[in-house]
Amino acid sequence: MEIFAKKTLLTSLVLSAGLIMGCSEQVESESVQGTGNDNRMQVESSVAVTEALRARIESDASTACIAAARLQRNSDGSLTSERGFYCADEQTALPNADSRYEIGSISKAMLGGIFAHLAASGKIDINDPLQAWVPEGIEVPQYNDEPILLRHMLTHTSGLPRLPALLMPDDVNDPYVDFSDEALWQSLTDAELVALPGEQFGYSNFAFMLLSKIAAEAAEMPLAELYAKTLFQPLEMANASFTGETMQGFSAEGEPVVNWNFADDMQGVGGVRASLSDMEAWVGAQLGVGPEPLTTAFATSHEVLAETEQATVGWAWLYAPVQGTSYVTHGGGTGGFATMVAINPETQQAAIVLSNAALYQTGDVQALAIHLLDANIPPGAPYISVAMPDSVNLADYFGYYEIMPGFVVHVFEEAGSLMIQATGQPSAPVAYAEEDIFENVAFGARFVFSRNQDGEVDGVTLYQAGQELTGERRLTEE
């Protein structure tokens, strides 16, 4: 068991020109050229969108700045985009529509559209077995003699683990940059499937690293060139790429973090960096406003490929049922960014939310995106850290707590912070939340200490990832 399992390694996954000061409260409109065809997009600065962002992020400990848009396809085939920008700290300069963010795993939904485009042109068949697309000498694992098909990988039903076993980064702050082709294929050879292909949903970055390699091979070009020629150039996504400067990314606690970088031809797992204007063009094309044959390919990518007990999935797109509406969605989270796209096919509306902080660690931006499409859904609340009262004595909590046989949590102080160190793991700080409760928001761990009738701390309960584990306090290690 790992209390502080590196969440940055488990995510589904930063300056830009022309930063502006202040927050507009007026609605201004301008017509801009559409997404590579004769359609037009009407852009408005929206008080309603801005207010939603304020409710979610104002005074948030992350110091994040959010850029967001609500898109509507109109009856005449044009698009309207209502934009909003807001920063947690009102002293911070606002981003604009060309400010670049890491979009993380939304890159997977882009890859799904690319696969639909490749399939339409006859370059790939998603019913092909994975074995047909791996290097000579690589044996793809099976489950009960059932092969993995490409469609299983697109829908996270391949049975492959979430991450390749040999993903052991030199720097956990940039976990994918040094992962080699050799390690990828060896991890595939050594993998044990956790379920029969096609039967069980299990989100897998590993599968999309493999799909990235396969797309590049099918198109006979590097993946960066494939994204550029298939998506970025036809849709006039001028700021989109796998490299280059972005906004500064932050942790959920407001600490600066480095950009994530990805090995060549594996970037489809989460490597795209893009601006709000880029995302408007791409999402607009998801609504059917854009050049052919892309809009047809994108419509195909929304079609359901798998329905399991856990999820309904298209070509990487995830269906999210919320109060009677089934949204087509994908989110993203990297070390310093959290993003979300939600589409309502019935109303032909969509929402885009881009944040330069790891807000998936403290409530995410998924609810905010749905809120932009349905005001009945709360937008989420900011995470505001609590100052520890002077009356708190950290020494009250020092000791050893065995929460499972042979698995002990050591609690001590370091540089004025309460520290937690579990058996076989490095130590990590926990912050004061309320009386006798400390948490590490980055890893979703909450420690609730109990006291006996004399007022002395006698135990702790750990809440993390749906688990509730309790251990009694002792003052010595043994």
Spatial neighbors of 333 by CB under 8 A, at least 6 apart, are 11, 12, 13, 104, 105, 339, 358, 360, 364
Q: Are 302 and 325 in contact (CB under 8 A)?
A: no
Integer Cα distance of 111 and 231 in angstroms: 10
Q: Are 36 and 291 in contact (CB under 8 A)?
A: yes
Integer Cα distance of 40 and 32 in angstroms: 6
Q: Say what angle helices 205-219 and 106-120 make with each other, to 10 degrees.
A: 40
Q: Supply φ then ψ for residue 73, to 5 degrees.
A: -85, 125
Amino acid letter for position 182: E
Spatial neighbors of 1 by CB under 8 A, at least 6 apart, are 404, 407, 422
* Domain 7-18+99-373 grouped into CATH 3.40.710.10: yes
Residue carrying the six token digits 């006039």: 236
Alpha helices in 58-162 (DSSP H): 106-120, 150-154
Residue carrying the six token digits 């150039």: 233
Kindly list the domain boundaries of the chain, sorted by start residue: 7-18+99-373, 394-474
pLDDT along the chain (478 residues), means of 10: 38 22 30 44 96 97 97 96 96 96 98 98 98 97 96 98 93 94 97 95 97 98 98 98 98 93 98 98 98 97 97 98 97 96 98 95 92 97 90 97 92 94 90 92 85 97 85 91
**206 to each of 21, 92, 187, 268, 290, how far by Cα in Å?**
41, 37, 9, 11, 31
Q: What is the DSSP letter of 94?
A: B
Q: Are 115 and 211 in contact (CB under 8 A)?
A: yes
pLDDT of residue 363: 84
pLDDT of residue 172: 87
Burial (CB count within 10 angstroms: exposed 0-12, middle 13-18, buried 19+), residue 56: buried
Strand-pair partners of 71: 81, 350
Burial (CB count within 10 angstroms: exposed 0-12, middle 13-18, buried 19+), residue 146: middle
Strand-pair partners of 313: 306, 318
As a whole number of Å, the CA-based R_g of the chain is 23
Q: What is the DSSP letter of 31?
A: E
Judged by DSSP in three states, 212 sits in helix
Integer Cα distance of 211 and 217 in angstroms: 10
pTM strictly above 0.75 = yes
Task: For domain 394-474, give its CATH number from 3.30.56.10, 2.40.128.50, 3.30.420.40, 3.20.20.80.
Answer: 2.40.128.50
- What token pair was written down for 419? 């520290």
Strand order in the sheet with 40-45: 29-33, 40-45, 79-87, 65-73, 349-355, 338-344, 325-333, 318-322, 312-313, 306-307
pLDDT of residue 465: 66
Spatial neighbors of 255 by CB under 8 A, at least 6 apart, are none
Q: What is the DSSP letter of 239?
A: T
